Structures are given as structure tokens and as C-alpha cells.
Amino acid sequence: MEGGFLNKWLAKIPVGKKVIECIGVCFVQFDSRGKIRRNEVYFDRSELISEIYKYNKTK
């Protein structure tokens, strides 16, 4: 990608005793000085939100 990169990642997020795995991408672009000028993160958070909701109902 011109001026940056696209990074695929895996996050393991604990929600109570359960661990949710989220796969996502990070889109990064640099300015002329090599500093990050744009950083966008995308992932499907539906399973994470669902588990957080269930966890909060049990408290």
C-alpha cells in the first residue's frame, strides 16, 4: 500500500471467564516525516458485544 501498510491481527479479549477472539485489520499511513497520519482499525465486534451483554446480566 502506498505510503503505509495494512496489518491483520488477532486479539484475545477476556469477558468474565470466557475469552473472545477477534480478527481485524489495521490501516496505517505515514506523512512525509515518517509519522503516522492515519490509523484506522476494523473488526467485527458483534460476538464481543454479545458476550459483554451476557456477562453484565449475570452480575
Query: What is the CATH number for 29?
Result: 2.10.70
pTM (global) more than 0.85: no
Q: Single out the residue of 33, 32, 30, 11 nearest to residue 22, CA to CA.
A: 11
pLDDT band at 2 (very low <50, low <70, confident <90, very high): confident
pLDDT tens for residues 12-50? 999 999 999 999 999 999 999 999 999 999 999 999 999
Contact 8, 22 (CB under 8 A): no
Domain that holds residue 37: 4-58
- Sign, CA dihedral 46-49-52-58, equals negative
pLDDT band at 1 (very low <50, low <70, confident <90, very high): confident
pLDDT band at 51 (very low <50, low <70, confident <90, very high): very high
Number of domains in the chain: 1
